[in-house]
Structure 1
Amino acid sequence: MTEPPAHRVPPPVELLPAFVNTYDVDLAEPEQLPDPAALTAWLRSQGLIADGTPPAADDDVALAHELRAGLRQAMRQHHDGDLTTVVPELERAAARLPLRVIFTGTAPSLAPAGTGVTAALAALVAAVATAEAEGSWQRLKLCAAEDCEWAFLDSSKNRSRHWCSMGSCGNRQKTRAYRARLKAADRMDG
């Protein structure tokens, strides 16, 4: 029996950026998960909790924010290839979440232990392990534009994409760099 579409969890390459993008530096009010009701609604919209699941508490919101901050930092590091630096927020948040190892199929995998909001947050950590096993974790990055920082999947062949969109952030950054070079050249001539 398959799960109804409303409760199907997106694959890690969609779920993790969606969670990270609940903090959007481009908006006047960047925080999209400010309270337990918003966190509960978002987890439900992603199929991570079912209708009737007890709502999130203030502690869950704080844990979600810490987890998201850690994921943002990890995705930021994917640009540099600096994968050895520990991300303290991610470590702390993951240590507080109920996870278990499942030994079915061809390879062991992580899964949330239990139910409810903390198990839903644990599913996000399990999604990191799944993304790594699938080879997509290091392709999840933050846009290099400081006024954007949107999480995205780098689908370029050589994993060198820096911006969420070349059409907006990429062009804007290249235009700024070009203008800075012109200004520097004018100062040297003048």
Structure 2
Amino acid sequence: MNSDDTAQSTRRLRLAAAPGGLCVVQDLLNSASMPAASIPDLLADETSAQAWLDSALRTWQEQTGRTAPRITIGVDDAAALRDLRSHVRGWITGDADDGTPHPLEADITFHDGRLTYAPRHDGAVAVASLIHLETLLASHTGTLRRLKTCKNPACGGAFYDRSRNGTRVWHDMKTCGNALNLRASRARRRHSPLPGEAAEATP
């Protein structure tokens, strides 16, 4: 597996991995580009997508304690993975609620008192099955609601909200929260009339 840090989509944003298998969903979202920070799209082509996937599966293995499946990305898979990323982002942000079914291709086995699963086939189909399974499991355990995307339009980084009340909206308060709060404050000051102007406008 590729150990190049540039392939580690969540780590390049200096974010902690989401718990368990949800980390691979987070890694998919964080593979997107961020032009404002000169961060490239890790699913731009077959080579970069394979590097991203190898890194994401390594994190998944560390987080779940299971052996990661070996999935090979083909020539046409990068575009399919970008589409997958878009619809998963829609689930997380609440912008996709069209009831569209997404097929799963996976094997479920029972061993040592545990049910385990592994995606079938290869390429984007296998990745989609893994992503859909982990998203489904997280939705039932309640952890999915804590996977969020930063409200800064120039960022959109996916982070796991570990705050007690689960109300974080920025991936990082210093880099995104403070910047947007300052921008909003300046905008309010620009549009607020001075005390003298307000008095003159009052009949």
**Cα drift, residue 184 of structure 1:** 1.6
Distance 1:105 1:163, change over 3 A: farther
1:168-183 counterparts in 2 under 5 A?
Answer: 168-183=175-190
Q: Does 1:75 align with 2:88?
A: no
**1:37 correspondence with 2:47:** yes
Separation in 1, partners of 2:195, 2:45: 53
Where does residue 65 of structure 2 map in the other structure?
none
1:86 maps to: 97
Equivalent position to 2:170, from 159, 163, 170: 163
Alpha-carbon offset, residue 133 of structure 1: 2.4
Instruction: Judge conservation of contact 1:73–1:87 (CA < 8 Å) in 2.
Output: no
1:189 to partner: Cα distance: 5.2
Aligned 1:92-111 pairs, distance under 5 A: 94-95=102-103, 97-99=104-106, 111=117
Q: How does 1:1-190 map to 2 (within 5 A)?
A: 11-25=20-34, 26-28=36-38, 30-47=40-57, 48-50=68-70, 55-77=72-94, 86=97, 91=100, 94-95=102-103, 97-99=104-106, 111-117=117-123, 118-186=125-193, 190=197
Cα distance change of structure 1 residues 44 and 87 upon mapping to structure 2, 3 Å threshold: farther
Paired residues of 2:69 and 2:118 also in contact (CA < 8 A): no
With over 3 angstroms needed to count, the CA separation of the structure-2 counterparts of 1:140 and 1:105, relative to structure 1, is: farther
Asked whether the equivalents of residues 75 and 141 of structure 1 are also in contact (C-alpha less than 8 Å), the reply is yes
Separation in 1, partners of 2:76, 2:158: 25
Letter in 2 for 1:114: R
Structure 2 residues not aligned, in runs of 5+:
4-18, 58-67, 198-203
Number of corresponding residues: 168
Per-residue deviation, residues 1-43 of structure 1 (Å, max 9, x unmatched): xxxxx9xxx7234221111010032443642211112112221
How far residue 66 of structure 1 moved from its aligned partner, in angstroms, is 0.9
Q: What TM-score, normalized by structure 1, do the two folds share? A: 0.73
The structure number with the bigger radius of gyration is: 2
Indicate if the aligned counterparts of 2:148 and 2:159 stay in contact, CA closer than 8 A. Answer: yes
| Identity between Structure 1 and Structure 2 (%) | 25
SS in 2 for 1:146: coil
CA RMSD of aligned residues (A): 3.0
Q: Given the superposition, is the C-alpha separation of residues 73 and 182 from structure 1 closer, same or farther in structure 2, using an over 3 Å criterion?
A: same
Post-superposition Cα deviations, 1:33-84, rounded to whole Å, max 9, x if no partner, equal 111121122212222543xx5x31233212211110011122222xxxx8xx
Which consecutive aligned stretches of 4+ in structure 1 deviate over 3 angstroms post-superposition? 26-30, 99-109, 186-190
